[in-house]
A = this chain, B = another copy of it.
Amino acid sequence: MPNLKIDADRLWDTLMETARIGGTPDGGIRRLTLSEEDRQVRDWLRAACEGLGCTVSVDELGNMFAYRPGSDAGVLPVAMGSHLDTQPTGGKFDGVLGVLAGLEVLRTLEAAGYVTRRPLVLVNWTNEEGARFAPAMVASGAYAGVFTPDYVNARTDAEGVSFGAALDAIGYRGAAPVGSVTLGAMFELHIEQGPVLEEADKTIGIVTGVQGIRWYDLVVTGRAAHAGTTPMALRRDALCAAAELMLEARRVARTHGALATVGEIGVVQASRNVVPGEVRLTLDLRHPDSAVLDAMEADIAAFVTGSAFALTPVRLTRIWDSPPVAFDPACIAAVAAGAAAEGLPAQEIVSGAGHDAVYTARVMPTAMIFVPCKDGLSHNPAESATPEHCAAGAQTLLNAVVAYADRA
């Protein structure tokens, strides 16, 4: 293993430089996928990679691949990267760190004149966030064959603009069919987006997998009625029923050591003096074990079909099921060794959030590296990671990628 050291200051400066593209006064970034700001940061990344002698290709969904040759031409490249798009009120690190740390790896290798055995590829996946075009991680999903390009192109934003039209508008529709740029492995560095590493005082999370996620849409149907004239005993209040349901979902999650979140709720034809007749809400369940997700779903389904809901029936529709993901043992081992080589405090962790790595894991050996973020906060302008943690993550990424690329 060569003694290659990333430049912590250069990495930080790069993070701060690109943070100005879509930067907001509160210190965050608003860089929605396929927006003008996204075009600018893509142009910036392309120029930076080409400046290192890399060849940048773009596929038909805008996924960007910067290729650095290896010494052995007959093997698949090892990839690293993440995404440069953000939430509407996003922070400076979510996704961005994984791409710019990958760039820092390339810069370090270039400065040292070091050529890995396998080629390296830095990837910037389109629309990881799903904030402008739902669902999330749609372009890495298409890379993995989960979505068709037609499906992805037809996604529309709140203004009715399609993914395809937005991609064309910023000039980032490439010629390569999605999935045609073949990769041999994938390493993704990311902030944890949770409080576990910070609470445990660890610098590196060796991510062994991603918990399963199930999304549901729920509709509670009661009967709209006059708030001033309808006795409590005669009400079929859809919102009170929804309140019972929300507290039960929380109880079920606690019982199973899992997560349950109702993130959106709305009363149909709401008025402050009308008893709600219909309520729509979302439910997000997460756990690393599919059997536990099955049990939670059954618990909640049983609750809402019980006698307490006879007058306010609930329709529960599972709209998305992302099974738990187990990352590749060799990739995980490379990450663990990469952290150990630096003497960094590390622990294994399961990702609570979805990432592009969930989809790449379906088609190539994959692992992830987490670094702590302040208070576990992300998707927020106050999202924060220290320069030291960013550098530790980038060094671990370098160690893992170079070791994996150089192995026989």
Contact = CB atoms under 8 A, between A and B. Distances in A.
A246 B240 CA distance: 7
Contact of A263 (B260, B262, B276): B276
Q: Which size bracket describes the interface of A in this complex?
A: 35 or more
Interface in A13-29: none
B240 A250 contact: yes
Given A240-B250, A263-B275, A276-B263, A229 B270 contact: no
A340 to B, nearest CB: 25
Contacts of A353: 226, 228-229
A40 B191 CA distance: 63
Contacts of A380: 224
Interface stretch (A64-72, A76-84, A230-238, A361-369): A230-238
Contacts of A225: 376-377
A211 interface: yes
Contacts of A271: 131, 263-264, 379
A261 to B, nearest CB: 4
A407 interface: no
A207 to B, nearest CB: 12
Interface string A54-96: 0000000000000000000000000000000000010000000
Nearest to A284: B227
B89 A261 contact: no
Interface in A173-208: 192-196
This chain's copy number in the assembly: 2
A378 interface: yes
Nearest to A136: B273
A393 to B, nearest CB: 16
Contacts of A261: 227, 237, 272-275
B267 A264 contact: yes
Interface in A292-328: none
A254 interface: yes
B265 A230 contact: no
B226 A352 contact: yes
Interface in A272-298: 272-276, 282, 284, 286
A232 B287 CA distance: 12
Interface string A328-361: 0000000000000000000000011110000000
Contacts of A89: 269
A195 B231 contact: yes
Given A227-B261, A243-B247, 10 more contacts: A131-B271, A193-B228, A224-B379, A225-B377, A228-B352, A229-B353, A231-B259, A232-B254, A239-B265, A240-B247
Interface of A: 89, 131, 192-196, 211, 213, 215, 224-232, 234, 237, 239-240, 242-244, 246-247, 250, 253-254, 259-267, 269-276, 282, 284, 286, 351-354, 376-380
